[in-house]
Structure 1
Amino acid sequence: MLEEIRPPRRAVVVGAGLGALATVVAACSTSGTTSEATSKADSSTPAAAGTSGAPGSGALAKTADVPVGSGVIVDEVVITQPTAGVFEGFSSVCSHAGCKVSEITDGKIICPCHGSEFNLDGTVAKGPAKTSLETKAVSVQGDSIVAG
């Protein structure tokens, strides 16, 4: 009679596996949504408003939108201004595990995934990342910062 109440072992194992898979998928979906929300929030900053220049202009941001001693994240590029008039570009992909950096706070570029921090010149300030952010070429043309 006890066997009638117990579900077959295969059903329990399959059910547990599906439950674990659902948890992983949900966690990944939540993580992606958070990153996308952060990216969308970053895209709505004044720097992103400067990107809507003439089609094909390649403008990433206006120089006025990148604070001295800080920076902005525009799409796949982090633009910093460590000192007045000096603009640097980096990939927004963290060198540790490939997550996107999410913010620039107190002179540090922050990756939300594992807590890596980078200086405004792209070098590692705090691990677990061991290598600098990849450099992206940017230049100033008039009052705009462009790729290249």
Structure 2
Amino acid sequence: MSDEQVLAGPDTRTRRSLLTGVGAVGAAVVLAGCGGGDDSGDGAAPTSGGPEVTDTGDPGGGDREGAQSLARTADIPVGGGAVFAAQGVVITQPSAGEFKGFDPICTHQGCPVSNVDGGTINCTCHGSKFSIEDGSVKAGPATTGLPAKEVKVDGDQISLA
């Protein structure tokens, strides 16, 4: 038997089969990370029973001092809100006609908040809850509130100020 001939029994693994298996697992991990659920492509995640926000542009085509409209006032439910992850803001309406903006990143460990429900902005990574009125912590583990972001209401359009 020469040096290049190797006995290959049923439990023997070759380097080629090992590398092929590792490559297949790596490809599966990459594809799983790229896939996902429903992606509407607009970055909006309305919650608390609010309607889905699909149009983030200005329907009138006007440019209100360079601000891009994120939503219509009717899209943000009273006592609830919507997460606009791509635009970096959570918009809430604690009481009728009062709109607030907050940073969408949880202060606990930097996870993005996932929804607004039951009067709180919720991070499902570790269970932190923040007030829709002022961003303060309602339930930990977070110990500091969400920073406020300026929002502007112009007619029925809401944009970052």
Residue of structure 1 aligned with 2:94, choices 82, 105, 117: 82
Ranges in structure 2 where 5+ consecutive residues have no aligned partner = 1-28
Partner of 1:104: 116
1:117 counterpart letter in structure 2: K
Partner of 2:45: 42
Ranges in structure 1 where 5+ consecutive residues have no aligned partner = 1-23
In 1: Cα distance, 2:33 partner to 2:109 partner: 14
In structure 2, the CA distance between the partners of 1:66 and 1:55, relative to structure 1 (3 Å rule), is same
2:129 counterpart letter in structure 1: E
Post-superposition offset of 1:139? 1.4
Tell me the alpha carbon deviations over residues 36-95 of structure 1, each in whole angstroms, 9 at most, x when there is no partner: 89x85728x633424454375521110111111111112341000101111000011111
Partner of 1:10: none
Question: Where in structure 1 do 4 or more consecutive aligned residues deviate above 6 Å?
Answer: 24-30
In 1: Cα distance, 2:80 partner to 2:143 partner: 22
Higher helix share: 1
In 2: Cα distance, 1:124 partner to 1:49 partner: 31
1:81 counterpart letter in structure 2: Q
Q: Give the alignment of 1:1-148 within 5 angstroms.
A: 40=43, 42=45, 46-53=52-59, 54=61, 56-57=63-64, 58=67, 59-74=69-84, 75-76=86-87, 77-120=89-132, 121-148=134-161
In structure 2, the CA distance between the partners of 1:144 and 1:115, relative to structure 1 (3 Å rule), is same
In 2: Cα distance, 1:147 partner to 1:40 partner: 15
In structure 2, the CA distance between the partners of 1:130 and 1:28, relative to structure 1 (3 Å rule), is farther
Indicate the SS of the match to 1:47: coil
Indicate the SS of the match to 1:118: strand
Tell me the alpha carbon deviations over residues 14-41 of structure 1, each in whole angstroms, 9 at most, x when there is no partner: xxxxxxxxxx9999889xx57x89x857
Q: How many residues align?
A: 144
Post-superposition offset of 1:126? 0.5
User: 8 Å contact 1:42–1:48 — kept in the other structure?
Assistant: no
Aligned CA-pair RMSD: 3.5
TM-score between both structures, scaled by the size of structure 1: 0.69
